[in-house]
């Protein structure tokens, strides 16, 4: 079973700053089958990135994903007020398709 | 519009059974996987399992195997998550979500609104 570890647990930043979130896998994620989701309080998660680097429909280009193998990164180039939320990575290359523990991006 | 609509909140006692539902619309229900995700209060997302309604192929996380049953009725475009004997530790929000690449498993591109299950004596 692949275990995903996200860091940091919490990121305190100001609007306009750049956010860099990390997701590390215990084994290589096949074919870069790695996704990123955003979840706001009281809402269902929303898909941001799939295939490690492809933006989902309607996702602004300030969100970008990169990485391969065991190390993946979600970057938000300039934080907008609506971007403060919790972010999860998920691998879907090998069942069970588990999630990381999440990174909370909060307003500094 | 592609959407998943889940059944309403439930309050149950320990030991009771429960079946919650997730109805798909706006797409070919039999051609995409439907997964279930648990979120305990204040905690992260946990992948429980997934079903392909076209042929009922089902995969479970080892953490949930034997604890829940995932099924689907393709005639009414609905997937289900059921428990035979609830525990207080089953208290959580449960989301269904569509895996968005036909039979090839992919990321969850469409999510239901969630069903809150509360188990308390």
pLDDT in tens, A2-39: 999 999 999 999 999 999 999 999 999 987 899 999 99
Greatest Cα pair distance in chain A:
38
pLDDT in tens, A77-95: 999 999 999 999 999 999 8
Q: A44 at the B interface (CB within 8 A)?
A: yes
Phi, psi of B49 (to 5 degrees): 170, 180
Which residue in the set A39, A92, A101 is minimally distant from B106, CB to CB?
Answer: A92
All residues of chain A having their beta carbon less than 8 Å from the beta carbon of residue B61 are 95-96, 98
Count of beta carbons in the 10 Å neighbourhood of residue A10: 11
The pLDDT of B64-68, averaged and rounded, is 97
Asked whether residue B103 carries a pLDDT value surpassing 90, the answer given is: no
pLDDT for B102 equals: 77
Pairs of CB atoms within 8 A across A/B: 67
pLDDT for A102 equals: 98
């Amino acid at each position: 079973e692949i275990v995903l570890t996200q860091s940091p647990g919490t990121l305190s930043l100001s609007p306009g700053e750049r956010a860099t979130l990390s997701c590390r896998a215990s084994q290589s994620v096949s074919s870069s089958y790695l996704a990123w989701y955003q979840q706001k309080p009281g809402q269902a998660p929303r898909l941001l990135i799939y295939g490690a680097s492809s933006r989902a429909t309607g996702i602004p280009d300030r969100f970008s994903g990169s990485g391969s193998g065991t190390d993946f990164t979600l970057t938000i180039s300039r934080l907008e007020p609506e971007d403060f939320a919790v972010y999860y990575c998920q691998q879907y290359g090998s069942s069970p398709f588990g999630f990381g523990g999440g990174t909370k991006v909060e307003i500094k | 519009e592609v959407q998943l609509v889940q059944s309403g909140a439930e309050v149950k006692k320990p030991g009771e059974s429960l079946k919650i539902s997730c109805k798909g619309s706006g797409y070919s229900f039999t051609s995409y996987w439907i997964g279930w995700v648990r979120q305990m209060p204040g905690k992260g997302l946990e992948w429980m399992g997934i079903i392909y309604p076209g042929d009922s192929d089902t995969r479970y996380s080892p953490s949930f195997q034997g604890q829940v049953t995932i099924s689907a009725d393709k005639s009414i475009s609905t997937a289900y998550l059921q428990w035979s004997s609830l525990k207080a530790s089953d208290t959580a929000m449960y989301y269904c979500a569509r895996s968005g690449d036909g039979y090839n498993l992919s990321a969850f591109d469409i999510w239901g609104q969630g069903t809150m299950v509360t188990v308390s004596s």
